[in-house]
Amino acid sequence: MAETLAPPRLLPSGDSAITVEFSRTIDDAANRRVLALDRLIAAEPIAGITETVPTYRSLLVHYDPVQITFDALAEQLLARAAKAPPSESGTRRWRIPVTYGGEHGIDLEDVAKALKTTPDEIVARHVAGDYRVAMIGFTPGWSYLSGLEKFLHMPRRKDPRLLTPAGTISIGGIQTGVQCLAGPSGWHLLGRTPVRTYQLHRDPTFLLEPGDAITFSAVDAKTFAEQDRAAEAGEFVAELVTP
């Protein structure tokens, strides 16, 4: 099977990092190969690699040029990419509570209007989805999920908001996401979760890993408030579902 896979492109990101690019578009198969290579590098380390950063379509490999050159590392990365099986093993599945609409999801009604349906239908479809953490990036814990059904695909806002709340659950383009910290966003806000994907002084500090499976469950605002207090005190709130 491995011999049918096209080799990734190796792109220089300065003198201390290589971008291993499997695809130029959002593509679940490419993402699985990214995560497979990431796991293989963790299992069979290459001296000189300091850190790896998986994204939708590429693996950014940081390295120390004092220990290994671009050419030597490129060769080893290509060899590993050729043998990394693009399958998942030991996937964790999380159920994440979300309160949809109202003050917690100020765009829900507009999204329903734009998609010519009702807010309830949007919530039902969003909750029904089976998602995967394709990457975590931008700010701590910001988890980009793949698996949003086509009906819910929607272009980003023309005018990004400069400040959206911590815990926001939103959709943008063909993705949905769990935002951890307050910050700017051009996505459409459907709801909020009490789950902290990043919380200092909690073990683990980061809850989700790239490759984790995610489902959402709708909760009312009162439950959200209770769970938000529990989460603030260090509880996960997100539920680890037995596969």
Residue ranges binding other proteins (CB under 8 A): 11-17, 19, 21, 23-26, 50-58, 60, 62, 65-66, 69-70, 135-142, 144, 180-181, 183, 198, 200, 205-206, 210
CB-neighbour burial class of residue 187 (10 A; exposed 0-12, middle 13-18, buried 19+)? buried
CB of 138 to other proteins, least distance (A): 4
Q: Which of residues 97 and 210 has its CB atom nearest to other proteins in the complex?
A: 210
| Sequence-separated (6 or more) residues with CB below 8 Å from residue 226 | none
CB of 93 to other proteins, least distance (A): 19
CB of 120 to other proteins, least distance (A): 32
Q: Which of residues 21 and 235 has its CB atom nearest to other proteins in the complex?
A: 21
DSSP string over 73-119 = HHHHHHHHHHH------S--EEEEEEEESGGG-TTHHHHHHHTTS-H
Q: Which of residues 16 and 223 has its CB atom nearest to other proteins in the complex?
A: 16
CB of 81 to other proteins, least distance (A): 16
Question: What is the C-alpha to C-alpha distance for residues 171 and 96, in angstroms, rounded to an integer?
Answer: 15
**Which three-class secondary structure state does DSSP give residue 162?**
strand
Do residues 20 and 52 make contact, with C-beta atoms less than 8 angstroms apart? no
Q: Which of residues 206 and 236 has its CB atom nearest to other proteins in the complex?
A: 206
CB of 124 to other proteins, least distance (A): 29
Cβ count near 125 (within 10 Å): 15
Do residues 41 and 49 make contact, with C-beta atoms less than 8 angstroms apart? yes
CB of 137 to other proteins, least distance (A): 3
Question: What is the C-alpha to C-alpha distance for residues 145 and 26, in angstroms, rounded to an integer?
Answer: 11
CA-based diameter of the chain, in Å? Answer: 58
Q: Which of residues 12 and 130 has its CB atom nearest to other proteins in the complex?
A: 12
Do residues 178 and 171 make contact, with C-beta atoms less than 8 angstroms apart? no
Q: Which of residues 48 and 105 has its CB atom nearest to other proteins in the complex?
A: 48
